[in-house]
Chains A and B, each alone.
Chain A
C-alpha cells in the first residue's frame, strides 16, 4: 500500500526580519541575521519552507551583574566591567550570533546611568563586534522612554532590534524605531490576547508590523514553561492559518529565566541528588531553549557559553530537511 505523507496547506507565513546592516546597507555590521519566514510549523520542512534557522544571542550587561551565579565568573569575570570586551568575547570565543545588550545600569536603583552613558556603551559595543545587536532598556518605563530615542538615534543605520514595548508603554519605543528604522520587540505577559492587541496598536502608529519580534514572555523549565510553549504554538498556528497580527518571529529571554531557577543555581553540597551545579544549570538553560525552539522561538537569548554550543548543535540537526 502506497504511503502518502499528510501535508498541511497553510495560507500565510511568518514575517521575515533581517537584523543588522552591513556597510553597503548603511550600517557597520560585518554580518546580519535573518529570522522568520517560516511557511510551516517548526522544522516541518516537508510541509513548507523553513527559510531561516533560529539564532542564539548572548546577554551582555552594561554593569557587572552581581546576582549571576559564580559559575559565570570563569567565562565573563574579567570582562564584567568592560561591556565592549564582554560582547567581543561572546562573539569571538563563545559563538554568539547576536549580542543582546541590556542597559541594566540605567535602572534608577542600579546606577541610574544617563542616556549619554548608554549611548557611549552602545557605540563601544558596536565598535567591538560585527554581529547585529538587540538593545534592551532597564525595564522601568520612565527611564526607558528617555533611553529609547537616544539609542535609536545613536544606532541609526545599524538596524537594531530595540525593546521592549509593552501594552502600557510602547509609543516612545515605536516612534524612535520608526524614526531611525529599527525593528522592535513587543512583549506581552504570557497572554496571547495582549500579544495580538499590542501588535495591532504598534501597527496603528504606522509602524510596519512585519518589523516586530514578539516576546511572549517565556518561563523556564519547571516554572511554567508549558504556558509559554502552548502560547507560542497557538500564535504560530494562527500566523500560518491567516492571522496576520500573529505572523511575527518570536524571541525569548531563556538565559534570564533559566538562571532564576533554583535548580540551575543550587550547589551540589546542598542538593547531592541533583548532581553537579554547573552542568545542571547548562542543561536547565539548554532544555528550556530547545523546547521553546521547537515551539517556534526565532531568537534564544542565552547566558552560558556552553549552552550556546549545545543549542546550536540541536538547531543544526533540526534544520536538516525532512522532505518526502
Chain B
C-alpha cells in the first residue's frame, strides 16, 4: 500500500495561512517532508477557508510541483478547481474524488480520460454512505461500469469504501474490510482501492495507534492506497511490515528504509 500524503490541506492552519498570504514555504516544506517519508502521492486540498478554490488549487499545484516530482491527488468537490489543477499537472494525478452519482461521474470520468488521470470513486451516492458491504459493493460496481464506459482502465480507478470514525460508526469497520475483499472480485484486472485512513480515528484517543492498526488490517484485506499521514513514522513502518507479510515486497533487512525511499 502507498500513502497519499494528506498534509497539504487548507484545513490545517499553516496551509490555510499559506493560501491566504501567498507564501509557499509551508506547502513546499510539507511536500518535501512527505516525499522523503515515502508518500506515493501528495493530496492537494484548498480547504474550507478558500474563497476561490480554482485559483488556490492552481497555486497549490504549481508551488508543490516546484519542489517535488511525486504525483498529486487533486482533492476537491469543486470540479472546476480539479480541472484547473489537471491542466497544469506535469505527471498524471489522481482525482479525489467522485461519488457514484451520475452527473458527477460523467463530468469526472470525462476529465480523467482527457488528462489521463486516475480517479478515486466513493462507494456512496445521494443517499449517503451505505452501512453494509453489499450496498457498498453495488455502488463500487456502478463506478466500475461508468469508468469503463469512458475507457478508464480499472487499474486507474481507486474505489474508496469509506471508513467512519471507530467511536461513532464502529459497526462499519467489518463492512469496510469485507467491501475491500469483494471489490477485488469485480473485474479482471481488479479496480484499485483507497481509503481516507485518518477518518477511522476522528475524535478518538490514541489516534496514531488506531490509524496504524487499521492500515495493517486494511492491507490484509487488499487495500492498495490510503490518504493518510506520511509523516507518521510508525504508520509507515507498520505499512512496510504489512507489505512484507502480504508478500508484496521482497524482504530485506532494510525493509523500512526501502519502503520509505520508494526504492
Which of A29-37, A130-138, A193-201 contacts the other chain? A193-201
Q: Is A27 an interface residue (CB 8 A)?
A: no
Q: Is B52 an interface residue (CB 8 A)?
A: no
Of residues 193 to 214 in A, which have CB atoms within 8 Å of B's CB atoms? 193-194, 196-197, 200
Question: Which A residues are CB-close (under 8 A) to B249?
Answer: 238, 243
Question: Which B residues are CB-close (under 8 A) to A197?
Answer: 252-254
In the complex, what's the smallest C-beta–C-beta distance from A208 to chain B, in angstroms? 14
Known: A200-B254, A243-B263, A245-B252; 9 extra A-B contacts, CB below 8 A, are: A193-B253, A194-B252, A196-B251, A196-B252, A197-B253, A200-B263, A243-B249, A245-B250, A245-B263
A-side binding surface: helix, strand, loop or mixed?
helix
| Nearest residue, chain B, Cβ from A197 | B252
Binary flags per residue of A214-237, CB closer than 8 Å to B gives 1, else 0 = 000000000000000000001100
Total interface residues on A, CB under 8 Å, equals 13
| Nearest residue, chain B, Cβ from A9 | B155
| Nearest residue, chain B, Cβ from A194 | B252
Q: Is A192 an interface residue (CB 8 A)?
A: yes
Q: Is B145 an interface residue (CB 8 A)?
A: no
In the complex, what's the smallest C-beta–C-beta distance from B130 to chain A, in angstroms? 33
> Contact at A244–B250, with CB atoms within 8 Å?
no
Question: Which B residues are CB-close (under 8 A) to A194?
Answer: 252
Q: Is B67 an interface residue (CB 8 A)?
A: no
The distance in angstroms between the C-alpha atoms of A196 and B259, with both chains bound, is 13
Q: Measuring CB to CB, which residues of chain B are less than 8 angstroms from any residue of chain A?
A: 249-254, 257-258, 263
Q: Is A57 an interface residue (CB 8 A)?
A: no
Question: Which B residues are CB-close (under 8 A) to A245?
Answer: 250, 252, 258, 263
The distance in angstroms between the C-alpha atoms of A244 and B262, with both chains bound, is 8
Question: Which B residues are CB-close (under 8 A) to A196?
Answer: 250-252, 258
In the complex, what's the smallest C-beta–C-beta distance from A255 to chain B, in angstroms? 28
> Contact at A193–B252, with CB atoms within 8 Å?
yes
Q: Is A96 an interface residue (CB 8 A)?
A: no
Pairs A-B, 7 closest by C-beta atoms = A196-B252, A197-B252, A244-B263, A193-B251, A197-B253, A245-B263, A200-B254
Known contacts: A243-B263, A245-B263. The answer to whether A238 contacts B250 by CB under 8 A is: yes
Question: Which B residues are CB-close (under 8 A) to A235?
Answer: 250
| Nearest residue, chain B, Cβ from A167 | B253
Q: Is A246 an interface residue (CB 8 A)?
A: yes
The distance in angstroms between the C-alpha atoms of A194 and B257, with both chains bound, is 15
Question: Which A residues are CB-close (under 8 A) to B252?
Answer: 193-194, 196-197, 200, 245
Binary flags per residue of A153-181, CB closer than 8 Å to B gives 1, else 0 = 00000000000000000000000000000
The distance in angstroms between the C-alpha atoms of A133 and B257, with both chains bound, is 35
| Nearest residue, chain B, Cβ from A196 | B252
A-B contact pairs, 18 of them (CB 8 A): A192-B250, A193-B251, A193-B253, A194-B252, A196-B250, A196-B251, A197-B252, A197-B253, A200-B254, A200-B257, A234-B250, A235-B250, A238-B249, A238-B250, A243-B249, A244-B263, A245-B258, A246-B250
The distance in angstroms between the C-alpha atoms of A43 and B122, with both chains bound, is 41
In the complex, what's the smallest C-beta–C-beta distance from B244 to chain A, in angstroms? 10
The distance in angstroms between the C-alpha atoms of A196 and B250, with both chains bound, is 8
Question: Which B residues are CB-close (under 8 A) to A246?
Answer: 250
Binary flags per residue of A229-267, CB closer than 8 Å to B gives 1, else 0 = 000001100100001111000000000000000000000
Q: In this complex, which of A192, A197, A235 has the most chain B Cβ atoms within 10 angstroms of its Cβ?
A: A197
> Contact at B250–A200, with CB atoms within 8 Å?
no
Question: Which B residues are CB-close (under 8 A) to A193?
Answer: 250-253
In the complex, what's the smallest C-beta–C-beta distance from A247 to chain B, in angstroms? 9
In the complex, what's the smallest C-beta–C-beta distance from B217 to chain A, in angstroms? 24
